[in-house]
Amino acid sequence: MNEEPIDISSDFHTFKNQIVNKFGEQYFEQAEIFFDRAMAQAKQGLLHSAIADGKFALELTQYSNDNRGIQYLIGFLSQLHCDLGQISKSKAYYELGLKLLDPEASDYEDDKEMYRGLKELIDGEGWKGSAEDDTRV
């Protein structure tokens, strides 16, 4: 672990990089735990709780030193919002995840196919959008 002190007065980019360098592995591990918990909650039908933990996992990845699997977390959040009829949120996560796919990755075609399926689901469920879809942040 890097023993240099964190310079809290530095610009955000430098500060964030210092956090990632010093604590990135811990944030990666915590993000995985919250993602696993979110998936378990979704299986239990606790979709709102799953979204809360999934969003927290996504926040933790911002400080992680390893972003492997982020496209699955984002796809999962998109799926959950779609399941709740929150189509605009689902689309926003879908578009973010699509942008993060790495064409150089060995599993790019599989990931692209996963997002194609998600897009079909979103398009097929779009008519279910509710007032909740546009009023909640």
Tell me the CA distances in angstroms from 88 to 69, 71, 92, 94, 121, one per residue in order: 23, 18, 6, 10, 13
pLDDT at position 136 is 44
Is 21 among the domain residues? yes
Both 115 and 86 in a single domain?
Answer: yes
Domain interval for residue 114: 74-128
Both 78 and 124 in a single domain?
Answer: yes
pLDDT at position 1 is 47
Both 21 and 57 in a single domain?
Answer: yes
The pairs formed by 15-23 with CB atoms below 8 angstroms and a separation of 24 or more are: 16/62, 16/63, 19/63, 20/63, 20/64, 20/65, 21/65, 23/63
Both 31 and 79 in a single domain?
Answer: no
pLDDT at position 126 is 60
How many Å apart are CA 55 and CA 53, to the nearest integer?
A: 5
Is 28 among the domain residues? yes
pLDDT tens, N- to C-terminus, the chain (137 residues): 447 889 999 999 999 999 999 999 999 999 999 999 999 999 999 999 999 999 999 999 999 999 888 999 999 999 999 999 999 999 999 999 999 999 998 999 999 999 999 999 999 876 555 545 444 43
Both 54 and 101 in a single domain?
Answer: no
Is 41 among the domain residues? yes
Considering its fold, how many domains does the chain have in total? 2
Choose the final residue of a domain: 31, 48, 68: 68
Is 60 among the domain residues? yes
Both 63 and 16 in a single domain?
Answer: yes
Both 60 and 95 in a single domain?
Answer: no
